């Protein structure tokens, strides 16, 4: 059997989730959209079911998958509904939904619901993706409260630059939020992973009934390009691993792989690993990207192919056929691989495919 696989450590997932709550003292939604960033949404939800305050997904399709798998905790639709029709299912399956546009408020006003909704009312504080304009926010809040269809509103916004401590955008967004929401007595939710890992410096008001939205950090990867103390406490959840399936010895001046882009400069022992871009390993990872071979650091050499990649074994004489190779995990942080590949750990995780995904610690 092909040795490539992804191991998912659900104990690490629980550890990271609890860190999100502990850091801020607020409630935390575990963000498990996009199949839990490649980690398996149903398995991750089940692992957190006993302790999580709730979950967040992108759309109703993702929420229903969880409900059908008997996940009963609150589930928030981060983009709300795309068509008014979906409100029936939102009502029926007791989902929470983001409202970010005026047409959604009208749709709620016109819909008959069996049970009043929980709405997360999204304010555009300057990211300019989705959210209501600050000048329209109060009126939107009132209309929803007066509609008789809404039991509870959470005031919500999203940072564009929470991973950049020196960005003036964070203060601008916080000030815009404070002004637009002044006097509205409701829980708030502003922080994603970088925001909540840094929240003491972000000077946020955070009450026990407020919410943070923890995505990347519950999978144990840092969202930062720099060293960050709280992020050091995270435990990687995914280990992407495989084995060496062939070895060759090359003289100096020999090319390796497609395009002959890498040429040996010294006598080189090359290990071929059963892992490629069809598994989600980034094709753009250059020679020099770290890998761990038998527990020792080495580097990628040559271009990544669809099913295989090549690593340098020259300084690892004990490594050979069948030696375990970790592409990312506890030995090689995904954020480090992402940095080399000009990507982000979010994308590496979401791109995972073809490899068997094996959950432990359920
Ligand atoms: C995906 C998402 C998050 C989670 O972000 P992370 O950086 O992964 O923690 C939070 N809020 C919203 C609105 C999102 O879409």
Spatial separation of the C-alpha atoms in residues 362 and 354, rounded to whole Å = 22
Tokens of 262: 């890498």
The pLDDT of residue 344: 98
- Expressed in angstroms and rounded, the spacing between residue 61 Cα and the centre of ligand 1 is 18
Strand (E) or helix (H) holding 10: helix 10-24
- Expressed in angstroms and rounded, the spacing between residue 208 Cα and the centre of ligand 1 is 20
The pLDDT of residue 203: 61
Q: What are phi and psi of 79, to 5 degrees?
A: -110, 10
Spatial separation of the C-alpha atoms in residues 157 and 317, rounded to whole Å = 53
> Is 103 exposed, middle or buried, given 0-12, 13-18 or 19+ CB atoms closer than 10 A?
exposed
Using the atom order of ligand 1, give the atom closest to the CA of residue 158.
13
- CB count within 10 Å of CB 208 equals 9
Spatial separation of the C-alpha atoms in residues 327 and 213, rounded to whole Å = 28
Residue 241 CB contacts under 8 Å (≥ 6 apart), including other chains: 3, 4, 5, 6, 7, 324, 325, 326, 327, 329
**Is 1 within any annotated ligand binding site?**
no
As a residue count, the chain comes to 362
- Expressed in angstroms and rounded, the spacing between residue 283 Cα and the centre of ligand 1 is 25
Question: Same domain, yes or no, for 94 and 242?
Answer: no
- Expressed in angstroms and rounded, the spacing between residue 36 Cα and the centre of ligand 1 is 11
Question: Same domain, yes or no, for 245 and 316?
Answer: yes
Residue 90's SS3 state is helix
Tokens of 1: 């059997």
How does pLDDT run across 154-207, given as a tens digit for each residue? 999 999 999 998 899 999 999 999 999 999 999 999 999 999 999 776 667 678
Residue 327's SS3 state is strand
> Is 179 exposed, middle or buried, given 0-12, 13-18 or 19+ CB atoms closer than 10 A?
exposed
Q: Is 41:32 a contact under the CB 8 Å cutoff?
A: yes
Q: Ligand 1: which of 13, 20, 30, 31 to mutate, judged by most atoms within 8 Å of the beta carbon?
A: 31
Interaxial angle between packed helices 41-48 and 60-68, expressed in degrees from 0 to 180 and rounded to the nearest 10: 60
CATH of the domain at 339: 2.40.37.10
| Beta strand spans in 136-265 (E) | 150-156, 188-189, 211-214, 238-250, 255-256, 262-263
Residue 88 a catalytic site member:
no
| Residue 2 placed within a domain | no
| Residue 128 placed within a domain | yes
Ligand 1 site residues, Cβ closer than 6 angstroms: 31, 33, 78, 158, 192-193, 213-217, 223
**Is 46 within any annotated ligand binding site?**
no
Low-confidence ranges of the chain (pLDDT < 70): 201-203, 205
DSSP 16-62: HHHHHHHHHSSEEEEE-HHHHHHT-HHHHHHHHTTT-SEEEESSHHH
Spatial separation of the C-alpha atoms in residues 250 and 189, rounded to whole Å = 57
Spatial separation of the C-alpha atoms in residues 48 and 240, rounded to whole Å = 22
Q: Is 81:87 a contact under the CB 8 Å cutoff?
A: yes
Of all protein residues, whose CA lies closest to atom 15 belonging to ligand 1? Answer: 78
- Expressed in angstroms and rounded, the spacing between residue 230 Cα and the centre of ligand 1 is 18
| Residue 120 placed within a domain | yes
Q: Is 270:247 a contact under the CB 8 Å cutoff?
A: yes
How many Cα atoms sit within 13 Å of 87 on the Cβ side?
23
Residue 258 a catalytic site member:
yes
The pLDDT of residue 165: 84
| Residue 1 placed within a domain | no
Q: Ligand 1: which of 35, 78, 164 to mutate, judged by most atoms within 8 Å of the beta carbon?
A: 78
- Expressed in angstroms and rounded, the spacing between residue 162 Cα and the centre of ligand 1 is 11
The pLDDT of residue 199: 78
DSSP state of 160: S
Q: What is the pTM of this model?
A: 0.97
Q: What are phi and psi of 150, to 5 degrees?
A: -125, 125
Of all protein residues, whose CA lies closest to atom 6 belonging to ligand 1? Answer: 215
- Among 222, 253, 273, the domain boundary falls at 222
Q: Ligand 1: which of 192, 218, 234 to mutate, judged by most atoms within 8 Å of the beta carbon?
A: 192
Q: Which of 17, 33, 243, 281 is catalytic?
A: 33
Residue 357 CB contacts under 8 Å (≥ 6 apart), including other chains: 5, 6, 8, 38, 39, 40
Using the atom order of ligand 1, give the atom closest to the CA of residue 122.
13
Q: Which of 122, 211, 219, 258 is catalytic?
A: 258
Strand (E) or helix (H) holding 121: strand 117-122
CATH of the domain at 85: 3.20.20.10
Domain count, the chain: 2
Domain of residue 15: give its range: 10-222
Spatial separation of the C-alpha atoms in residues 313 and 248, rounded to whole Å = 10
Question: Same domain, yes or no, for 217 and 259?
Answer: no
| Residue 229 placed within a domain | no
| Residue 3 placed within a domain | no
Q: In terms of DSSP H, where are the helices of 93-198? A: 102-110, 134-146, 169-181, 193-197
How does pLDDT run across 91-136, given as a tens digit for each residue? 999 999 999 999 999 999 999 999 999 999 999 999 999 999 999 9
Question: Same domain, yes or no, for 95 and 218?
Answer: yes
Tokens of 98: 């983001």
């Amino acid at each position: 059997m092909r040795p490539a696989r992804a191991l998912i450590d659900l104990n690490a997932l629980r550890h990271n989730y609890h860190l999100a709550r502990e850091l801020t003292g607020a409630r935390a939604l575990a963000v498990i959209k996009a199949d839990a960033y490649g980690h398996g949404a149903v398995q991750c939800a089940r692992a957190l079911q006993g302790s999580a305050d709730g979950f967040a997904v992108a759309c109703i399709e993702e929420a229903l998958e969880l409900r059908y798998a008997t996940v009963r905790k609150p589930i928030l639709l981060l983009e709300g509904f795309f068509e008014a029709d979906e409100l029936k299912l939102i009502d029926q399956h007791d989902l929470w939904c983001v409202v970010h546009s005026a047409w959604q408020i009208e749709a709620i006003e016109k819909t008959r619901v069996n049970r009043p909704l929980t709405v997360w009312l999204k304010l555009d504080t300057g990211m300019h993706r989705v959210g209501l304009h600050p000048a329209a926010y109060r009126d939107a809040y009132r209309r929803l409260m007066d509609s008789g269809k809404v039991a509870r509103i959470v005031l919500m916004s999203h940072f564009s630059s929470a991973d950049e401590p020196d960005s003036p955008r964070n203060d601008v967004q916080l000030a815009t939020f404070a002004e637009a929401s002044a006097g509205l007595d409701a829980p708030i939710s502003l922080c994603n992973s970088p925001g909540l890992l840094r929240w003491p410096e972000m000077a946020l008001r955070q009450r026990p009934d407020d919410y943070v939205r923890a995505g990347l950090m519950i999978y144990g990867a840092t969202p930062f390009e720099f060293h960050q103390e709280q992020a050091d406490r995270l435990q990687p959840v995914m280990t992407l691993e495989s084995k060496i399936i062939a070895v060759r010895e090359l003289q100096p001046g020999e090319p390796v792989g497609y395009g002959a882009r890498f040429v040996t400069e010294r006598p080189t022992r090359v290990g071929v690993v059963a892992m490629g871009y069809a598994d989600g390993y980034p094709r753009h990872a250059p020679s020099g990207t770290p890998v761990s071979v038998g527990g020792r650091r080495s580097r990628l050499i040559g271009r990544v192919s669809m099913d295989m990649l090549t690593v340098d074994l020259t300084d690892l004489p004990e490594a050979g056929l069948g030696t375990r190779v970790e592409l990312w995990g506890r030995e090689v942080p995904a954020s480090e691989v992402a940095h080399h590949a000009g990507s982000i750990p979010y994308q590496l995780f979401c791109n995972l495919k073809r490899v068997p995904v094996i959950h432990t610690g359920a």
